[in-house]
Amino acid sequence: MPPIAERDWSFEKIRDRDEARAARLESAESPDELIESLSASLTQACDSGAVRLAIDSKNNAFIEQRAIIQFHVEPELYDWFFNARTGYRAQFWIAPDNGQRFNERIIERVSAVVNEHLPLTVTARKIEVRHVDGSREDSDCGTIALPRDQLLNSLVPYASKIWICERLCDPAGGHVQDIGLPVLSGAERSPEKLAIPRWAEAVNPKTGETGEGLRSPLAAPEHSWLDVKGGFLNAEGNPGQIKPQNDRAGQIHFIGWT
């Protein structure tokens, strides 16, 4: 696969404000090395007890549950993941199916790390999701003991996804922190935008906004978390998704956002 050309994805607006950041993004390593770096961060989180585990479910019935795995990465890795030409969104820019295959490779590695570095039974937070006056509210409903195999059954590549973490679970319980708001609102206001012609005029059909894909989120260290969500397991233990993965892939490809 040839590299993405500078004319199609440049950092000129970032360079105007932060030359070091632009240089770092320009020199980001390969997609394969990105997967290795993500794997190393998740492994460290599992081994140190810093990984955060949760489940939520369709309509809060807790019949169809999915795994949620959250782990911290350095801000530079976060930036590479989301904004570099060799990063996650870039794989979808090339083609929706290319992005899906890359996502599946990451999930395969996540599953391998979970299998090798977590105990046979894990403690997770039980999360309820409600929508009040058009706003989403995540509530922590206590702990639940899960077999590691349940996490692995949920983490099938074709039904799972990774993205930046917007709602961070608290292992002590009682609170789900909205870390997406400061990161994404900061990216919206920041002049440090990507220069990607395809995404510049692309309209998000949900919001009517243009140019959302040009935002280049860079989280502060305390907000620099990634979030893996598995498929929802039905009563027979078969995983699936509410939103088809090819719809998500097409949205990232065409507008750079999901």
Does residue 2 lie within any of the structural domains? no
Rounded Cα distance, 248 and 87, in Å: 17
DSSP string, 52-65: EEEEEEGGG-SSSE
Does residue 47 lie within any of the structural domains? yes
Spatial contact of 75 and 41, defined as CB atoms under 8 Å apart? no
Count: domains in the chain: 1
Give the domain extent around 30. 12-255
Does residue 211 lie within any of the structural domains? yes
Does residue 144 lie within any of the structural domains? yes
DSSP string, 185-246: HHHHH-S---B-HHHHS-B-TTT--B-GGG------GGG-EEEEE-PEE-TTS-EE-SS-HH
Query: Residue 1 CB: number of other CB atoms within 10 A?
Result: 8
Q: How buried is residue 123: exposed, middle or buried, by Cβ count under 10 Å (0-12/13-18/19+)? A: exposed
Does residue 117 lie within any of the structural domains? yes
- Nearest Cα residue to 62 out of 223, 233, 236: 233
Does residue 3 lie within any of the structural domains? no
User: Would you give per-residue pLDDT tens digits along the chain (258 residues)?
Assistant: 678 999 999 999 999 999 999 999 999 999 999 999 999 999 999 999 999 999 987 777 666 789 999 999 999 999 999 999 999 999 999 999 999 999 999 999 999 999 999 999 999 999 988 776 667 778 888 999 999 999 999 999 999 999 999 999 998 887 899 999 999 999 999 999 999 999 998 988 888 889 999 999 999 999 999 999 999 887 777 777 777 889 999 999 999 998
Rounded Cα distance, 129 and 41, in Å: 28
Does residue 157 lie within any of the structural domains? yes
Does residue 20 lie within any of the structural domains? yes
